[in-house]
A and B are shown apart, each in its own frame.
Chain A
Amino acid sequence: MPSVSRAALAIAGKDIAIEWRTKTAIISGLVFAILVLAILYFSRDPTEVSDLAIAPGTLWVTFTFAAMLGLNRAFLLERERRAMDGLLLTPAPRSAIFWGKFLGNLMFVGTIEAVSLPLFVLFYNVPLWDKLPQLILVIAMATIAFVAVGTLLSAMVVRTRHAELMLPLLLLPFLVPPLVGGVQLTASLLNNRPLSEVWGWLKLIGAFDIAFVTVAALLFEVILDE
């Protein structure tokens, strides 16, 4: 369906253009990620727990929080001056709104991750340059999971009172599998453990991606107004 993909790209492009002009969300997201990285460094007894031991958890908790911040913003944008009604009135297919938002959110969360990863390496002294491709694969897979569920849920909570409160409450249970998987895979990579050990986790996150991207895409139309 060329029209769906064209409309989706147009919507994602619109979101990116808005972000590019204001830069408020991306800057606050980045500062927030750096703050979390810095604060979590002190969340341990340094004589008992090494940098390397808390590094994987820190990285993923940072990603989770930063993603949540970005996802909250995705549909708040459309609430202002009822922009969502405008989107719904366009001849674009409904599913294009989901895919457009999904792409826009992937870009947003991906950018925050791309900036915080080098900072993480710096702050925590982790030797991971030679395992970078594998780590990026893991991050990409988990980010798809975060963003698929998050796009659907943020479209929902934005139409309730206390949207900022509701998103973490509903989203976090869904982030458990990709988050735990991400931490375990990162830890295995950092400690040079064999691939056979991590294979199960990769399959788990992959299956989660397939299941939840499908479910989110199917259910998205349900939550829009008829």
Chain B
Amino acid sequence: MNRRDSAIRLARSGRIVTMLSLVLLAGIYVRALVFTPIERTQGAAQKIFYVHVPSAWCAFLAFGVCGLLGIAYLWLKDRRMDLLASSSAEVGIAFGVIILTTGPIWGKPIWGHWWTWDARLTSTLFLFLLFVGYLVLRGVVTDPDLRARFSAVIGIMGLVLIPFIHLTVYLFRTAHPMPIVLKPSAPSLPNVMLVTLLLSFGVFTLLYVGFLMQRYALAILRDVREEELANAA
């Protein structure tokens, strides 16, 4: 079967991309730990920043891709959009776990407590939970067409919800460090740290792509199998 072969080929190249990014990730760790200066006030704890921030970027990228593919699916009615969207959501969950574990590890020594109900923490948590709900929903809908439409609806609504949750907690109160890289004026991070962070962004994005390729290949294989079973019955 042609679709199966191309999926297996995709999985193989996804594995290569993932391996490559894992090797590069090791390089990032070495650079962050050995060749990047220790931050004056936060000490060694600040090192987690090079993992935490890029994985937050990847999780939001993954959920954003999922929502946009939802719109694309409703428009084009192409099954592959749905499979790719759900793969992206699942990879996003993996990065979400990294954010929600590395965050508290940093928060304990710096803030003095594991968790705070700050705007970004809260939006991340609710978004994470919403996408867990998205995956659970996919599990309880048996009809593939219905599943794709429902998933697209949740993905799109998630996109609309994020700014509202963010604003909600912002009005409540906020303690998270303010943006230091993506802000209107020049980044206030020393150059060495900025380079490490940007490299880390690149590597994490590559890791996302590698994961997504493999997960998408798996989704296609599963889809092919479901079709075969349906035809055999």
Contacts and interface: CB of A to CB of B under 8 A. Distances in A.
A159 interface: yes
Interface stretch (B48-56, B101-109, B157-165): B157-165
A82 interface: no
Contacts of A201: 171
Contacts of A215: 156-157, 160
Contacts of A208: 164
A180 B172 contact: yes
Nearest to A200: B171
Contact of B167 (A157, A162, A204): A204
A133 interface: no
A211 B160 contact: yes
B146 interface: yes
Nearest to A157: B137
B140 A212 contact: no
Contacts of B165: 173, 176-177
A184 interface: yes
Contacts of B141: 159-160
Contact of B168 (A160, A161, A204): A204
A37 B63 CA distance: 37
B146 A177 contact: no
Contact of B153 (A161, A162, A219): A219
A79 to B, nearest CB: 14
B161 A174 contact: yes
Given A180-B168, A204-B167, A152 B153 contact: yes
Interface string A100-123: 000000000000000000000000
**In the complex, which range does the number of interface residues on chain A fall in?**
20 to 34
Nearest to B167: A204
Contacts of A177: 161, 164-165, 167-168
A213 B153 CA distance: 14
Contacts of B157: 149, 152, 174, 212, 215, 219
Interface in A115-169: 149, 152, 156-157, 159-162, 166, 169
A223 interface: yes
Interface residues on B, range: 20 to 34
Interface in A168-217: 169-170, 173-174, 176-177, 180-181, 184, 200-201, 204, 207-208, 211-212, 215
B149 to A, nearest CB: 5
A69 B127 CA distance: 23
Contacts of A1: none
B154 A204 contact: no
A157 B141 CA distance: 9
Interface string B171-198: 1100000000000000000000000000
B136 interface: yes
Contact of B146 (A159, A170, A174): A159
B121 to A, nearest CB: 13
A204 B137 contact: no
Given A219-B153, A222-B149, A211 B140 contact: no
24 contacts: A149-B157, A152-B153, A156-B137, A162-B140, A166-B133, A170-B137, A173-B126, A173-B127, A173-B130, A173-B161, A174-B157, A174-B161, A176-B168, A177-B165, A180-B168, A181-B168, A184-B172, A204-B164, A211-B160, A212-B157, A212-B160, A219-B156, A222-B152, A223-B153
Closest 5 CB pairs of A and B: A160-B140, A173-B130, A177-B164, A177-B168, A169-B133
Given A152-B153, A161-B140, A212-B160, 12 more contacts: A149-B157, A156-B153, A159-B146, A166-B136, A166-B140, A170-B133, A173-B165, A176-B126, A177-B164, A184-B171, A200-B171, A223-B153
